[in-house]
Chains A and B, each alone.
Chain A
Amino acid sequence: MKKKSLVSITDFSKNDYLKILDIALEFEKNPEPTLLKNNVIATLFFEPSTRTRLSFESAITRMGGRYIGFSDTKTTSIAKGESFKDTIRTISNYCDMIVMRHPLDGSARYASEVALVPVINAGDGTNQHPTQTLLDLYSIKKTQNTLDNLTVFMVGDLKYGRTVHSLLMALSEFNTNFYFISPEELKMPQEYKLHLDNRGLQYKEQTDLSEDLEKADIIYMTRVQQERFTDPMEYEKTKNAYVLRNHMLTNSKPNLRILHPLPRVNEISTDVDENPKAYYFTQALNGVYIRQAIISLILGYK
């Protein structure tokens, strides 16, 4: 993985995922506060992000590295009309690695082709956000002690949600049994179901969240956004149908854990927060360890 960019979750193999998870666990036990003492990493956020940016910057700082960058393009040469290519090529002279988020799909792949240093994609439009997927895998492995043969419920916006698409691709390496719970308008796209068919994996699509919930090892909740609906009436009708409430978890498995990429709006009722099966805040902490692992591997320290 040394010197390799991480743009798409499919850039890395199943063995790579497992190696990253092992190293993340090492960082959780032993933070290695001077590992990056000679490194400068650029964090380029062409669109606002709070948790992803802070999580990366926290990961870099905890390893003793320094970061340069911006979280708003208004104060950069882009505002003067500089091309994306020139911005990336120039900044890549100043650092050992680029972490970037950009509103356009495919921007990270392009950056990895013009930069002189490896690029980590922290989200390119609606396309990919691979470090989120790896932290999801880490959270699943930590809570279930395995990634193999689990029953995973994906709930909410399955049509546009890039986190569920990438997670599906990654989990499809581990014989997962999927349940897709979404309103009719936001069903899992055909291409992902085809991918599962080709791999001989089981999945079930349903519109009712409470159905079969007692079978779940993982419930992965996502936000149903109003702007995804063509018909506002349809949104009003469905918005409360995909809310997870504490009483729904009464018969759930003891090992069940609830994940959410955050930010949450109302799709997980706050009465779930105190349930020991709620894992979404710890999941966010895992993001720091996983990013430490990815950065240190790509820089060649692991």
Chain B
Amino acid sequence: MKEKKKLQVSAIENGTVIDHIPARNLFNVISILGLDKIKNQITFGTNLESRRLGHKAIIKIADTFFADSDINKIALVAPDAKLNIIKNYSVAEKKMVSLPDEIKGIVKCMNPQCITNHESITTRFTVISKTDVKLKCHYCEKITDQQHFDII
């Protein structure tokens, strides 16, 4: 099985591999990490078979390493994502993402009457549940749940 995966998306010499992204959220991950704006070589595969997720996506970013505080933001849309830090074609470190206690930006508040949807304000949420993710808006105090995430 492992050999087959390597064939699906080619290996990198140095960089970060993000695996186990739900296929439908690949582009959200790209946007949260700002991958559309970096110049390094990026390869990704999507709609790959996964026993756990059904369809998963994988991203390999050459010569790029992320701070935990940045990479943890993707936990909103890819809670089971696994990171492999690649050095010289081999896995130097493995990491899981974990949702921070507070989220700034990234998600819109689902309350249409919230001030953040009417003025240019960075949204801010307290994470009140990490399993079935629920965010409480710092401004309007209403809850946005993961079924209603609208990524900015």
Contact = CB atoms under 8 A, between A and B. Distances in A.
Interface of A: 8, 83-85, 102-107, 109-110, 124-128, 191
Interface string B109-130: 1010111101111000000000
B113 A83 contact: no
A66 B137 CA distance: 35
30 contacts: A8-B141, A83-B120, A84-B119, A85-B119, A103-B113, A104-B115, A104-B118, A105-B115, A105-B140, A105-B141, A105-B142, A106-B109, A106-B114, A106-B116, A106-B140, A107-B139, A109-B115, A109-B138, A109-B139, A110-B121, A110-B139, A124-B115, A124-B140, A125-B113, A125-B140, A127-B140, A127-B141, A127-B142, A128-B141, A191-B143
Contacts of B113: 103-105, 125-126
Contacts of B116: 106, 110
Nearest to A165: B141
Given A83-B119, A110-B119, 15 more contacts: A8-B141, A83-B120, A84-B118, A84-B119, A103-B113, A104-B115, A104-B118, A105-B111, A105-B114, A105-B115, A106-B140, A106-B141, A107-B115, A110-B116, A110-B139
Interface residues of B, number: 17
A131 B84 CA distance: 53
Given A84-B119, A125-B113, A126-B113, A106 B137 contact: yes
Contacts of B109: 106
A105 B139 contact: yes
A111 to B, nearest CB: 9
Interface string B131-152: 0000001111111000000000
Nearest to A106: B139
A253 B116 CA distance: 47
Interface in B62-89: none
Centre residue among A103, A105, A127, A191 by max chain B CB count within 10 A? A105
